Amino acid sequence: MNAPLSGGQAGTPLVGIVMGSDSDLPIMKKAALMLEDLEIPFEVTIASAHRHPELSRQFALGAEDRGLKVIIAGAGAAAHLAGVIAAHTWLPVIGVPLTGSPLGGKDALYATVQMPPGVPVATVGIDGARNAAILAAQILATSDEGIAARLKDYKRKLAEGVETKANRLAEVGYRSYRKLD
């Protein structure tokens, strides 16, 4: 039993994005878009630690053979997906706790981050799908000069954005300043 996979960039996927439900896609899509920007091939699918544990297990067990180097797993509520994936592979797993439940994501945060010793999940902030993609890229960049160069460029643009805002604030003053998009 294999999860049907949807791809991103051309080439063998290096990052696997998996989420607990299609209702997670609006947030998890941000990870996919970030990986696209960084030109990193990835796959995307849905599994569920509770509703379809076998599919989640098979996704994790096959990840290494599919060529994945990092897995990003997002889920909301009692979010055990990232932990279950981490239990079935030695590949680094980045967990994305998601909002949407009546507890607003704190439940997912605790469920994702608080793993037992020996089975870590590198957990980003609530709804931090974009950061998960950047962290995945940083892991890949330790052995890929092209990804490292694109990451450096991304970080340079972030810094330029701060300077642009600081210069504009100095120019127009805090009373007239309007937030930039």
List strand residue ranges (DSSP E) for the chain, in order: 6-7, 15-19, 42-46, 70-76, 93-98, 122-123
Contacts to ligand RP5 by CB under 6 A:
20-21, 23-24, 48, 75-77, 98, 100
Q: Which is nearer to ligand RP5, 5 or 148 (CB)?
A: 5
To ligand RP5, the closest distance from the beta carbon of 105 in angstroms equals: 9
To ligand RP5, the closest distance from the beta carbon of 23 in angstroms equals: 3
To ligand RP5, the closest distance from the beta carbon of 100 in angstroms equals: 5
**Which pair of tokens denotes residue 55?**
């599919």
Q: Which is nearer to ligand RP5, 20 or 38 (CB)?
A: 20
Residue 133's Cβ-count burial label (10 Å; 0-12, 13-18, 19+) is buried
The dihedral built from the CA positions of residue 60, 66, 71 and 77, taken in this order, carries a sign that is negative
d(CA 17, CA 34): 12
Q: Which is nearer to ligand RP5, 24 or 43 (CB)?
A: 24
Q: Which is nearer to ligand RP5, 29 or 150 (CB)?
A: 29
